[in-house]
Amino acid sequence: MKKKPLLVGLCSLSITLASGCTTKQEHISVQKYEGKHYKFEAYKKKIEMGKTEKTKEIVRNADWEEFALEKDHSKADFIFYFNDEKNEGGISVYYVWVNTDENIVELTKDEHSQYVQLNRKDSEIILRLLN
């Protein structure tokens, strides 16, 4: 008789722990330009998959153009990459310039050989992830 409440309690605890452990999280590395150097701002461990998946979808579906960065171009405001791509063999590093007047984000990738300017909605999503 005393074993039944104990068994029910253990089952409940197991279910609670199992459901809590299934929340997938994404790891992202972010560097912010401050002064003359980039400062490693965050290795964000607790980002929900939904947020990073949306960001990945934005950069994957962006209308990238061929691009050549001028030598005297200003440094990017942020640099970020998704750490899970390291294991897949092809990591893309994204360089982010923020146009604060219009809240628009401009990105380059692949050693600045590709460029895109995002719309305001997508820019807000990227900025929320980086800040």
pLDDT at site 85: 64
Q: What is the pTM of this model?
A: 0.72
Kindly report, residue by residue over 39-87, the tens digit of the pLDDT.
Answer: 876 655 556 666 778 888 999 999 999 988 888 888 999 998 887 766 5
Mean per-residue pLDDT, 22-44: 71
Domain spans, the chain? 24-130
**Average pLDDT score, the chain:** 77
Q: Domain 24-130: which CATH class?
A: mainly beta
For the purposes of burial, counting CB atoms within 10 Å of the CB of 64, is it exposed (0-12), middle (13-18) or buried (19 or more)? middle
Higher-confidence residue: 39 or 104? Answer: 104
Q: Nearest to residue 70, comparing CAs of 97, 34, 104, 32?
A: 97
